[in-house]
Structure formats: structure tokens, C-alpha cells
Structure 1
Amino acid sequence: MPFNLPRITKILLIANIVGFALQWLLGDARMQVFELWPLGDSLYDPSGSAPSFMPWQLLTYGFLHDPSNIFHLAFNMLALVMFGAPLEYTWGERRFLTYYLVCVFGAGLCQLLVGSIAVSQGELAYRTVGASGGVFGLLLAYGMLFPNQRVMLLFPPIPMKARTLVILYGVFELSLGLTGLQPGVAHFAHLGGMLFGWLLIRYWRGQPPFGKRKPPDRRPPLRVVR
């Protein structure tokens, strides 16, 4: 465990590991109330066979992972450490935690909408788990704050600027979400995390749609007469 991590990044890392351990020890069925489920069980599923959506799921799902796929947890936690630590050092604990939770919530909200629409069209209700929405939000923030920082992909190992990586991931996720070429992955949740992170950063900066920057003062400086 890398104990030299900043405090909030370390807490988020431990929380995700604990959530994974609870799923493995207690069984996934007992943790369903904390996973994100669409609205279809109450609106479109009269039999009530699907678990119910509860408001807290918009946050708790982000601390759970598929217990049969440890690689999902491992890659998310690696990204949390890589991108979260420098952001927390830059922003401080409170702003970093706010940003991460907003991204998790926004990703869950987008996935809730997409999943509920799918169920209303006759598809079976399915759960959503994983920290990927928050992680994609961190990736976007890293690319915005450190656009020229060189990062290395794992597969394939290609170095590129952080800004380029964010753009490629965004386009990749959008194309997979629209085409459905990779089912079983919440691509719109990933995009939702990036979208809400982008909106929050623009809010903090006072940029549209939340405000307008004052135009630069192009008047010549006042002449000082001595």
C-alpha cells in the first residue's frame, strides 16, 4: 500500500478495496442494494424481479466492482493513484473530494438515464458498478490542468500528451457507446463522469455556461506625471 499518497486519494483507494472485499466475502447478492439499478423495476417491471433503485446508489456504486473481475478494480485504482494524487496536491483535499464525488454522481446519473430508457424498451434491468466514472473525470481534469504532461499508455505502451489522451479516450468511449460494439461496459457512465467534471471545472473558473470572463483591458496604461 503506497502510504505516501495524499490523504483523500488514499481513503478512496482503501474504500474501493474494502467494497470489493465485502462483495467477495458477503456475496454479490447481499450488496445489490448498493449497486446502481435502473428505474425499470418500478416503472416497467411489474413482477418486481429486478432490485429497486435507491438514491444512494448514485454514489455507492462507485465503490463496488465485479468480484469476479479483479482487473477492473486494479486498473481503476492504478488510474486513481496516477491522476488523483497530483490533482489532490494541486487542488487540496476538499476540492479534490468534491470533484471526484461529483464525477461519480454525474456518471451514475447518465447511466441511470441510459439504463432506464433501455429497460423501458424491453431490455432486462442490469446493474452498474465501478469507479470508472470518477476515474474518467480525473483523467479529464488531469488533461485540462496538465495538458502537455507526457503520459504512457499501458496497452499499447505509447507516450503522448495528457490532452491527446483525454481526447482519444473521449472519442473512443463515445464511439463504443453509440455502436454497442462492447456490451457490458457503461460507456455513457464514463462519458458522464467526464462531462460533469468538465462542467464543474468551468464552474470553478467562472466560464460559460456559468459565467463570462471579463474581456482584457486593452486601454493604454495611464501615464504617470511626476
Structure 2
Amino acid sequence: MSPVKVVLADDHEIVRNGIKTLLESEGEIEVLGEASNGIEAIEKVLELKPEILILDIRMPLMNGIEATAKLREVSPDTKVLILSMHDDEEYIIKSAESGASGYLLKDTNKQEFIKAISTIKSGDKYFSGDISNILVNNYLNIKKGNISNKNSNSSDVTDYGITKREKQILNLIYNGVTNKDIAEQLGKSVRTIETHRFNIMKKLGVGNITELLRKVDMKPDILG
């Protein structure tokens, strides 16, 4: 059986090298090329025509979700496997809606990684257990009409586009909890918390923590 042909897209070279070594050690997967951003990923797919594009979400120029949606237009036969450190509902649901065939967290083990690639190659989708639960719950909420008829108490997203997880982190920031302590409380990495913090500040249109706290003081409804 010929090896599964893939392209890797991640903005960290050391991460790409590690993934490539892991995958090619099996002898059943061939990494045709690598990309450091979403635009380059699309270009590599068009040039190399892989069966699967493995990509991160947070990348410069074009993020993974945008690249996934674009790929449906320019190379619909290439499947997408998202490999991310983010387990937020917003990222997972948007990835699925954009056409991703699978979603794995970067702390997944080698066996599950290989299984996901094999499953996607066969034409099925692969979402790990926790990720599947989020998608199922979202589907059930839609069926119940909670998404289209949500109110301020049950909404997943505030008027500022802040997700439940971001609101939770914002409350902790507002109460003076450090990134390290937030990471420990939520069982996440400090880098993940820093990413959330950056996204919150961007959505609220502030440039530093002082402006962030002032914004919350002026509009306490942000905290829910």
C-alpha cells in the first residue's frame, strides 16, 4: 500500500520537524512539504496535491480555519486535519463548519495521531473524544433552538464576540489572577492563556491591561 501523502503547516519549524519525524517513522506516511502560514499551506497543496493537509489554527497571514475554508474551494479532494493546542468550543466548531475532516489536540499520542490520519484517508472524519462531545453538544443545542434564540444568560458569545472560556478568563484577569495561576486553575498551558488574553484584548479594542480593566469598569456587563 502506498504511503499517505501529507503536507504540514505550522508556524514553528521545530514543531513541524517533530511531527514530520513522528509520522515518517511509521513508514506509512510521506510528508511531501511544509508551510509556515495559511497562504503558503494553500500554495503547497496546489503544488504537491497531498491527500491530507495537517495544519495548526493560529498561523500568520491566514489562520488554519480560513485556510480550511479556502481549501474547499481550490482543492476539495484534499482533506484537512486540524492539529491545535486549543480545545475551545469556538475553534472546534468553526473548524468543523469550515470543512475540517478531523481535529486533534497537540498533546495527543502517536497512536491516535496515526489512527486519525488513516481514518480521514478512508473518507471518514476523526474527532477525539472530548472534541466529539463539544460538537455533539453544539448540534443538540442547535436542535433545541438555543443558538438562534439565545439570550444574555445562555449565550455562548457576548456582544463583543467573547466566548464562554474567554469570559471566564477575563473574570480571573479582572480579579488580579496571574496567567500562571489561571493556567493552573483551568488545566491549560500559560501560552494558551496568553493567547486567550490577546484575543480578549483584541475583541475589546484595548492595547494593554490598564485599558482592559478600565473597559470592564465602564461596561461590567462584559463579565456576564
Q: TM-score, normalised by structure 2?
A: 0.25
Q: Which has the higher contact order (CA 8 A, sep 6+)?
A: 1
* Between structures 1 and 2, the one with greater strand share: 2
Q: TM-score, normalised by structure 1?
A: 0.25
Compare CA radii of gyration and give the structure with the larger one: 1
